[in-house]
């Protein structure tokens, strides 16, 4: 399977703490994107990082990409209860196919 | 600027029946992809439509078929429904002509299908 893997599968932190989740993938990619999904809802695009980029920031989000290790991380700083959701990484490979990881379920405790 | 819209939001079907789900892509987008997301799982790629043709397909049986119309909207059809087809079906739109490295994929809210 070309699907990526996220870890941890579940993460529970206190409000105000930072949350880090990791994603590994298997094929060469054009870009990697992170999405957020509230329970039973659609996927909301958070951030895109191109294969030639190593780090990207957007508000409280920081994404890194290491193509040599085929891995990426998403850091959410100063977490809020409203950040509680599932987070998925998705890779766009060189065949323009888009594959999702298995997701990290984040719970932020107020 | 309308985002990706899907209909219906929820539906219940009986085993053996057929279902059609609909999607309108984000304004300006020409490519529609469909994903199946079972409870607790990540989305699985079903297929992608561009220029009214199926361009790529994931590991799904022929019971899953689709169509893209000249206005870029799309339908997903599933025949001979099985209990295991119960899932959230997500539509995603993108612009195939855009630089691949900057190609952001946008998703609709999904259609919840329950097969009983």
**Of the candidates B96, B101, B110, which has its C-beta nearest A50's C-beta?**
B101
- Encode pLDDT of B29-49 as tens digits: 999 999 999 988 889 999 999
Angstroms from B104 CA to nearest CA on chain A: 7
pLDDT at A1: 45
pLDDT at A54: 97
Tell me whether residues A40 and B45 touch, CB distance under 8 A.
no
The mean pLDDT of B67-77, rounded to a whole number, is: 97
Which of B33-47, B67-81, B100-114 is predicted with the least confidence, judged by mean pLDDT? B100-114
pLDDT at B115: 98
**Of the candidates B33, B88, B110, which has its C-beta nearest A98's C-beta?**
B33
Which of A19-28, A89-98, B69-78, B106-115 is predicted with the least confidence, judged by mean pLDDT? A89-98
Q: How far is residue B57 CA from its own chain's centroid?
A: 12
Tell me whether residues B105 and A98 touch, CB distance under 8 A.
yes
Distance (Å, whole) CA B55 – CA A110: 46
* CA quadruple A73, A79, A80, A82: dihedral, nearest 10: 0
pLDDT at A70: 94
Q: Give the whole-number percent of chain B exceeding pLDDT 70.
A: 93
Question: Do residues B78 and B61 make contact, with C-beta atoms less than 8 angstroms apart?
Answer: no
Which of A13-27, B9-23, B38-52 is predicted with the least confidence, judged by mean pLDDT? B38-52
- Encode pLDDT of A45-80 as tens digits: 999 999 999 999 999 999 999 999 999 999 999 999
Nearest CA in chain B to A45: B106
Question: Do residues A80 and A64 make contact, with C-beta atoms less than 8 angstroms apart?
Answer: no
Give CA separation, A110 vs A13, A17, B21, in Å: 9, 11, 38
pLDDT at B56: 86
Identify the residue among A96, A101, A104 best suited for mutation to test binding to B, counting B beta carbons within 10 A and taking the highest.
Answer: A96
Say whether pLDDT at B96 is over 80: no
A100 contacts on B by Cβ (under 8 Å): 35, 42-45
B88 contacts on A by Cβ (under 8 Å): 40
């Amino acid at each position: 399977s070309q699907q990526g893997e996220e870890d941890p599968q579940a993460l529970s932190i206190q409000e105000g703490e930072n949350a880090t989740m990791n994603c590994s993938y298997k094929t060469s990619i054009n870009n990697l994107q992170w999405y957020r999904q509230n329970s039973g809802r659609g996927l909301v695009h958070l951030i895109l990082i191109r294969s030639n980029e190593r780090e990207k920031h957007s508000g409280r989000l920081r994404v890194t990409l290491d193509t040599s290790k085929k891995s990426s991380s998403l850091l959410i700083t100063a977490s809020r209860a409203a950040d509680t959701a599932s987070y998925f990484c998705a890779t766009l490979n060189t065949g323009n196919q888009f594959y999702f990881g298995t997701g990290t379920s984040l719970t932020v405790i107020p | 600027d309308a985002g990706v819209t899907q209909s219906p939001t929820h539906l219940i079907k009986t085993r053996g029946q057929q279902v059609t789900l609909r999607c309108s892509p984000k304004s300006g987008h020409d490519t529609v992809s469909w994903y199946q997301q079972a409870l607790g799982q990540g989305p699985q790629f079903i297929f992608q439509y561009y220029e009214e043709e199926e361009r790529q397909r994931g590991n799904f049986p022929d019971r899953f078929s689709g169509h893209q119309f000249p206005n870029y909207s799309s339908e997903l059809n599933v025949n001979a429904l099985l209990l295991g087809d119960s899932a959230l079906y997500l539509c995603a739109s993108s612009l195939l002509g855009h630089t691949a490295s900057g190609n952001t994929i946008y998703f609709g809210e999904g259609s919840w299908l329950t097969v009983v």
